Amino acid sequence: MSISPLHLTKYRKHVEAYVTFTDEEWELFAGHLYLKEVKKKECWVTSTHTCKEVGYILSGSFRFFFVRDGVEISNYFCFANELISAYGSFLKQQPGPGSIQAMEDATLICFSYNSLQELLNDERIAFKMERFGRKVAEYLICCFEERLTAFITQSPEQRYMDLLERNAELLQRIPQHYVANYLGITPESLSRIRKRLMNAKGKRKVA
């Protein structure tokens, strides 16, 4: 499936947060990009397979999860306009411990591991791609570090409020048992948090 010029422009603008390509360099990179659609509940990456892509989410949302003692544990969410990958698996080219599943129908702009290696060996763009790859790694590492820090320093209610600030509208479309699982609490506890926040919001409006 071809990528529209509008989507390519949107992706280029996002990429420029990491590295700025000249028009010639961008043409080289863009030639390796492709569109991918992932259906709701479909796994884009599984723990039994090697991650071969880095994606940019045009629409939809994803959850990272792993299985412990037969129970799925969600440990991260990604929304539209974010980069996504099981980057450890991608870099090592071996299966990682977790999976990435679409929580709703999603569309991604992707590039593959093989394309990255090809571009790294192309002297016309190698320097920029090396920098881009490093910046993506730093971004994804910081995301997971923030997640770990939040679990240590914040209450489930504070973490839920952070999710609301990130994307309240999309959060309403995510199954609440995924949200509760991500927060490390039961669905019943999440319902109490939501009710408490709604009551507090109502009191502020009255005041």
Residues 1-10 have pLDDT tens digits of: 679 999 999 9
Tracing tokens 């090809």 back to the chain, one arrives at 118
Q: Choose among 166, 169, 178: nearest CA to 82.
A: 166
- Give the model's confidence band at 204: pLDDT under 50 very low, under 70 low, under 90 confident, else very high: low
Domains of the chain with bracketed CATH: 5-122 (2.60.120.10)
pLDDT attached to residue 169: 74
Tracing tokens 């994606």 back to the chain, one arrives at 55
Residue 103's Cβ-count burial label (10 Å; 0-12, 13-18, 19+) is: buried
